Amino acid sequence: MDLGLFKQVSDVEWRVAPFGKMRVPAVVYADQALVREMDEKVFAQLVNVATLPGIVDAAYAMPDAHWGYGFPIGGVAAFDADAGGVVSAGGVGFDISCGVRTLHTGLKAVEIAPLKQRLADRLFARIPAGLGSTGQLRLDASEMDAMLRGGARWAVERGYGSEADLERIEERGCMAGAEPGNVSEHAKRRQRDEIGTLGSGNHYLELQEIAEIYDSKAADRFRLRRGEVVVSIHCGSRGLGHQIGTEFLRQMVIAAPGHGIELPDRELACAPILSPLGQAYLGAMRAAVNCALANRQVITQLARQVFADIVPGTHLTLIYDVSHNTCKLEPHTVEGQTRRLYVHRKGATRAFGPGHPALPGELRDIGQPVLIGGSMGTASYILAGTETGLTRAFSSACHGAGRAMSRHQAARQWHGRALVDELAGRGILIRSPSLRGVAEEAPGAYKDVSAVVEAAARAGLARKVAKLKPLVCIKG
C-alpha cells in the first residue's frame, strides 16, 4: 500500500487526516512492513468508511487488515445513533459472529502424542466439516426460533454443556435483542441442519500445544500451562448469517437514497440505526450471533464426547469464546464524554481491558482473553485486553493472520495433498473433506501471524499471553 497520504504517528500507527468527504480520520495499526503488504483497496475502503454518517472518532484498521466487502476485513468503526449514525451489513460481514473459543483439556502434549491419530480421526468423523455440511440436529420452526433467541444458553438447556460454560462466553452466551421474526424463512431453511458443523473456508477445530508463555500472571488466571493441550474452535453462523447479510445488503442499497445517504461504494450499503430497516437488521444480526454461539456450543460438546471416549475422565473446560464479526451497542468515552455507540467489528476481536464490567468476575482484574487464530499449520495466540486499548479502536484487536492472497491464487500455487503430507512431516495432522480447501488455506496464503500479534501488542491493543502450536487440525 502506498504510504504517501499517511502520517506516521508511531512505528505501529498510521493516520490519514480527513479529506474530501471524510468525516473522521482513517487510522491503521500496523508496522511498516505489514502496511506495505496491505492491498491498496484497504486504504480506499477505510477512507470510504470514514465518510459514513454518524461515524465517531476514526475509521480503524487492525494489523491483519485486508480487502473485504465494503469494510476492510480487520476494520472497526463506531456510530452514534443520536447523531444520525448508520448500521452497515458490510461492516459486520457475511459470517455473522464468526469467532473463536478455546478450551482446556487438562492433558499434556506428551500424553496426547500417542493418541493424535485416533483423536484426529474421531473428531473428523463426529464433527461435520466442509461446504454444505450438515449435523445430527434438525430444527423445526419452533426450535429454530428458540435457538435464535437463546444462543449457547439454548444449547446448554438441551444438554450441550453446562451453566459454567456460559460465564466464559461473550454476552454470557446469549445476545439480547434478537428478533427471529426478522430472519427470512430462506435463511432459517439454510440453517435447519447446520447446527454443530464447522462449515468451510478457514473454519477449523484444532488441538494446540501451549508452546510459550509471555505473561505469567494472565496465563495463571487463564489456567494456561506450557506443554499442555487446548482445543480451539473457529466457526460462525453458517448459511443463516450469510443469507441475512445478503438480503439486508440488498435492501440497504435500495433504501439508502431515501435516507439521504450517498454511498461511496454500493458495498457500503447501510441504513440509519434508528430507522425501521436499521432496527430490523440489528434484530436479525443478533439472532445470527446467537446462532453462532449455539453452533460453537454444540461443537464443544461433541468434542468433549470424543475426548471422554478416547481419554476417559477428560473434561474440556472453557477458557473463553469471543466473536469477530459483529455490531454491538457499547459505552465508550470519546473526547471525555461517555457515549453509547454501535461498534462494528469486521474481522476484529473485542478486547476489553481490566475492570470492564462485561467481563466475568474472575477475569475482570486481568482483562478479556483475546483469541487469535493462525493460518493452517502455523501458531495461534492468546492475548489479553489492555487499559490503553480502551482509548484505541474502541477496545478492539486483530482476529487472525489475515489473507495475503486470494483463495483462487492459493489453489493455483499449492496442492492440498502435498500440504497434508508436508504438515504431517512436521507432526501436524490435517483432516479435511476437501483437498482444494486445504490448498486455499495454505499457510503461505496468509500474513505472518506472529508479526500481526506483535504489532497489536506494540500498539497497545492487547498484550501477549501465550503462543499455541498446532497438533491436529480438522478443517472445512
Question: Which residues belong to the active site?
Answer: 399
| 395 in Cβ contact with 341 (< 8 Å) | no
Instruction: Give the angle 135-141-142 at the CA atoms, nearest 5°.
Output: 105
Strand pairing partners for 474? 205, 431
Q: Which three cell numbers stand for residue 97?
A: 459472529
Could you give the CA distance from residue 203 to residue 373 in angstroms, rounded to a whole number?
Answer: 10
Q: HSE-up of 197 (CA within 13 Å, CB side)?
A: 27
**Positive or negative torsion for Cα 448, 452, 453, 457:** positive
Could you give the CA distance from residue 117 to residue 135 in angstroms, rounded to a whole number?
Answer: 23
| 351 in Cβ contact with 397 (< 8 Å) | yes
Q: Which three cell numbers stand for residue 91?
A: 461492516
Element (H, E) at 161: none
Could you give the CA distance from residue 294 to residue 237 in angstroms, rounded to a whole number?
Answer: 9
For cell 453462523, name the residue: 237
Query: From the CB of residue 311, how many other CB atoms can be counted at a distance below 10 Å?
Result: 17
Q: Quick one: DSSP state of residue 138?
A: -
Strand pairing partners for 344? 77, 327
